[in-house]
Amino acid sequence: MRRLGVIGLVIILGWDGWWLERSCLASGDDLRIKRRIGVLLEKLQSREAEDRFEAARALGELGEKAAPAVEALVGALRDEEFWVREAAAEALGKIGPAARSAVGALVELLGDEEGWVSWSAQNALARIGPAAVPALALALKNKEPGVRAASAEALGKIGPAARSAVGALVRCLGDVDWQVRAASAEALGKIGPAARSAVVALVRCLGDADWQVRAASAEALGKIGPAARSAVEALCKQLEREEDLRVCEAVAEALGKIGPAARSAVGVLVRCFEKKRWSMRATVAEALGRIGPGARSAVPELEKLLRDGSVWVRLTGAWALISILGSHSGAQDILRKGLLDREVCVYTLRLLERLGKGARFARKDLEVLLKSPNSGLSGEERRRLKKLLGRLREK
C-alpha cells in the first residue's frame, strides 16, 4: 500500500512541467532541481521562441538555485526575439549575486533598442549588486548617451553599495546629454551620505539649463542630508531666483532634509508661502517642521496654514507647528480631525508617527480608530497604528 501511495503521488504530480517545478522548489531536492534545470536548458535551445521564453522565465523562478544556468542565460541575452532577451535578463536578476559572471553581457544590453530589455538589464545589474559597480562605472564612458544614463540609473538602484562610483558619477554631471546629467544626480542622491564628496558638483548643477537636472540635483543634496549643509546658501539663492515650481519644491524639500543645519533658510522658505500651488505650501511647511525649533520665526505664517483651503496643507502645517513648538492646541485639533477623514486618515497617521511621543494628545483618538470596523485601514496600516499606540503608552 505504501509503495502504491508513492507511485500514485508521482502520477499525480508528474516529472515534468509546472507541477514538477513546484515540487522541486517545495522539497528542496537538489537532484530534482538539477534535473529540472537540465530540462529547461534544453528548452532554452529550442527553435521555438515561445519555448525559449518559457524556459528563461522558469529558470528565473528558481532564483539563485538556477546559478548553473547563468552561462546559458547569457547566451539568451543575444536572442533575436526581444521578449526572450528580456526574460533572460530578468532571470539573471532573480539569480542575484551568483550571476556576477553575466555583468558584462548585461551592461552591453543596456544599449538594446527595445526599452523594456534595457530596463530589465538595468534591474538585473542592480540585483546582482556591488559586483556590477566597476563595470557600470566604466559604462558611464560609453559613447551612447542611453547606455550612460542607464548605467547611472543602475548604480542608483544599487544605492550606498555603489559609493566607489561617486567620482565617475560626478564627472557625468558635466555630460553633454541632459538625461545623463539628471540620471547621475539622481544616482548620487540614492547613494546618500556616502556621496558627500559630490556636494560641490551638485551645487553647480543647480544652475543647469534643464529643469529636470536642477530638480534632480536639489533632490540629491536633500538625500545626502546634513552632510550637505554647505549647500544651504546655494539652495536658498536658487529658491529665490527659480521660476519653475517643480524645482522650487525640490529645493524646499532638500532644505528640510538637511534639517536643523538649514535654519538660515527659514526666511526664504516663509516667502514661498506666497506661491499659489498648494503642494508648494505643503512642501515648505514640511521643510520648516524638519528644521524644528530653529524655525520658530515661521510660526505666525504656519498658523495661517491651519485655515488653508487644502486639507493636505492644513495637516502638514499642523504637524510643522507641533514639531517646532512641541505643542499647539489648534494644530492638535486639525490632526485629530484628520483621523476622522478617510481620505487623509493614513496621511495623518504618518504625521503622528513622525511626532513620536509628541503625538500623545491623539492617543484616545487613535484607540477609537483602532477599534473602528469602518476605518478602511489595511493590515499593514493597522500594525503601524498598534506600534504607535505602544510607543504612546510607554512612560
Q: Is there a common fold for 46-158 and 225-326?
A: yes
Residue 249 CB neighbours (<10 A): 24
Contact yes or no for 120/112 (Cβ under 8 A): no
E strand or H helix at 84, and its extent? Answer: helix 82-95
Residue 31 C-alpha cell reads as 537532484
Residue recorded with cell 538595468:
122
What was the pLDDT predicted at 1?
Answer: 36
Taking CB atoms within 8 Å and a gap of at least 24, the contacts of 111-118 are 111/142, 111/144, 111/146, 111/147, 111/150, 112/82, 112/85, 114/82, 114/85, 114/86, 116/82, 116/86, 117/82, 117/85, 117/86, 117/89, 118/146, 118/150
Q: CA 183, CA 178: separation in Å to the nearest integer?
A: 8
Of the candidates 307, 375, 318, the residue with the CA atom closest to the CA atom of residue 352: 318
Grid cell of 389 as nine digits:
499606540
**What pLDDT, on a 0 to 100 scale, did the predictor assign at position 3?**
37
Q: Give me the amino acid identity at 169.
A: L
What are the boundaries of each domain within the chain? 46-158, 225-326, 328-394
Using only C-alpha atoms, the chain has a radius of gyration, in whole angstroms, of 27
The whole-number pLDDT of residue 371 equals: 92
Measure the CA angle with vertex 49, ends 118 and 153; round to 5°.
10
Phi and psi torsions of 275, nearest 5°: -65, 145
Residue pointed to by grid coordinates 539569480: 95
Provide the grid cell at 58: 522558469
Q: Please tell me the distance from the alpha carbon of residue 166 to that of residue 272, in angstroms, as a whole number.
A: 33
**Distance between CA atoms of 10 and 5, rounded to whole angstroms?**
9
CATH top class, domain 46-158? mainly alpha
Q: What is the pLDDT of residue 26?
A: 47
Q: What is the pLDDT along the chain (395 residues), one digit of tens a residue?
A: 333 343 343 333 343 444 444 544 444 567 888 899 999 999 999 999 999 999 999 999 999 999 999 999 999 999 999 999 999 999 999 999 999 999 999 999 999 999 999 999 999 999 999 999 999 999 999 999 999 999 999 999 999 999 999 999 999 999 999 999 999 999 999 999 999 999 999 999 999 999 999 999 999 999 999 999 999 999 999 999 999 999 999 999 999 999 999 999 999 999 999 888 999 999 999 999 999 999 999 999 999 999 999 999 999 999 999 999 999 999 999 999 999 999 999 999 999 999 999 999 999 999 999 999 888 899 999 999 999 999 998 87
DSSP string, 246-298: HHHHHHHHHHHHHGGGGGGGHHHHHHGGGSS-HHHHHHHHHHHHHHGGGGGGG
Predicted confidence at residue 42, as pLDDT, reads 94
Cell of 85: 532577451
Q: Any idea what DSSP says for residue 175?
A: -
Query: How much is the pLDDT for 373?
Result: 87
Are the beta carbons of 351 and 312 closer than 8 angstroms? no
Whole-number Å distance between alpha carbons of 212 and 206? 10
Residue 173 backbone dihedrals phi, psi, to 5 degrees: -65, -15
Topology classification of domain 225-326:
Leucine-rich Repeat Variant (1.25.10)
Amino acid identity of residue 66, one-letter, is A
Asked whether the beta carbons of 124 and 92 are under 8 A apart, the reply is: yes
Amino acid letter, residue 278: W
Which cell is 42 given? 534544453
- Rounded Cα distance between 214 and 241, Å, is 12
pLDDT digits (tens, 9 = 90+) for 239-269: 999 999 999 999 999 999 999 999 999 999 9
With beta carbons less than 8 A apart as the criterion, state whether 338 and 348 touch.
Answer: yes
